[in-house]
């Protein structure tokens, strides 16, 4: 027997998500993996890069979320998604304060709703130890990544999910489209990886194109922006506050760390917007 459920469609810089309340998710009787594939399908579903389910049943945090990519795979964290989630649960009254804690598979994340409607998120500390990223190299910075006749110098960083960051002089979009999938599935990355190609414009600004694990090319990736800035700072390419230009818009990333002191939280600030709401029959 089919059921009708309510949903909200949101986007952060064009990275788009279907948001469900927990009771609506449970009423479908489907696993979240199958539900994500169905709802995120851009031809037969609502269409999105990922599915966000509000988890009102946490014990040690104000609220929690369940997040799946459009292909049904689990994502530990999604920077654009967490901003959309934060705005949604605050506007719905599920939390009664503008700064609150969220339980995620990447640990506790703390977003803050700002006066202009944007969201600033404490994304916690970047993970730089190879076995925890995970990446099969001894040193996570500036290792050679061989792809047939092409060699890239890569940097691996985790923001709760793995990222492969590559600095180039031009053609970031073309390179992400051409090599993203191959790098995502490269044997260096036992849990696959997100892939970022970066052009450094100045000490305070970069351009970024991303191939997102489980999604492919997307208009924005918040954790990718964070990982890219961390890698840029560790390579002395950028200062502590960086404007990150993505195809869908810009994020502002702050990190006070350096090669000798990486124990600092990273902060991401950007917009989160509603697209539309409705019902769908499952």
Q: How far apart are CA 127 and CA 123, in angstroms?
A: 11
Please state the φ and ψ torsions of residue 177, each to the nearest 5 degrees.
-65, -40
Q: What is the pLDDT of residues 226-252, one digit of tens each?
A: 999 999 999 999 999 999 999 999 999
- Ordered structural domains, the chain, with CATH: 4-115+272-281 (3.10.310.10), 130-264 (3.10.310.10)
Give yes or no: 238 in active site: no
Q: Find the catalytic residue in 40, 78, 215, 226.
A: 78
Q: Find the catalytic residue in 40, 84, 221, 238.
A: 221
| Closest by CA position to 15, among listed 54, 69, 65, 55 | 69
pTM of the model: 0.92
Q: What is the pLDDT of residues 28-47, one digit of tens each?
A: 999 999 999 999 999 999 99
Residues in CB range of 166: below 8 A, 6 or more apart: 145, 152, 153, 154, 155, 175, 195, 196, 197, 198
Rg (CA), the chain: 18
72-76, 80-84, 123-127, 172-176, range with the lowest pLDDT: 72-76
Residue entry with tokens 């599915």: 51
Per the CB < 8 A criterion, the answer to whether 233 and 239 are in contact is yes
Give yes or no: 221 in active site: yes
């Amino acid at each position: 027997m089919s059921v009708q459920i309510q949903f909200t469609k949101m986007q952060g810089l064009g990275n788009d998500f279907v948001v469900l309340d927990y009771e609506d998710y449970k009423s479908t009787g489907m696993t979240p993996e199958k539900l994500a594939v169905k709802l995120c399908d851009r031809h037969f579903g609502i269409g999105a890069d990922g599915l966000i389910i509000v988890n009102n049943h946490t014990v040690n945090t104000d609220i929690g979320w369940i997040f799946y990519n459009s292909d049904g795979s689990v994502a530990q964290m999604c920077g654009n998604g967490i901003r959309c989630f934060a705005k949604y649960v605050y506007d719905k009254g599920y939390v009664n304060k503008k700064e609150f804690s969220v339980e995620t598979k990447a640990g506790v994340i703390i977003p803050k709703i700002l006066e202009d409607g944007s969201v600033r998120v404490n994304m916690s500390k970047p993970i730089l130890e190879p076995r925890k990223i995970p990446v099969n190299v001894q040193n996570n910075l500036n290792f050679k990544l061989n792809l047939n006749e092409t060699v890239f110098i890569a940097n691996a960083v985790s923001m709760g999910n793995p990222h492969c960051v590559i600095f180039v002089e031009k053609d970031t979009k073309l390179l992400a489209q051409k090599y993203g999938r191959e790098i995502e599935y490269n044997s260096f990355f036992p849990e696959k990886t997100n892939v970022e190609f970066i052009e450094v414009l100045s000490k305070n600004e970069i351009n970024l194109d991303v191939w997102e694990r489980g999604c492919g090319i997307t208009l924005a990736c918040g954790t990718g922006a964070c990982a890219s800035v961390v890698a840029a700072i560790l390579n002395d390419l950028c200062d502590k506050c960086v404007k990150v230009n993505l195809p869908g818009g810009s994020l502002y990333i702050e990190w006070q760390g350096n090669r000798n002191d990486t124990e600092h939280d990273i902060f991401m600030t950007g917009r989160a917007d509603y697209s539309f709401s409705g019902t769908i029959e499952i």
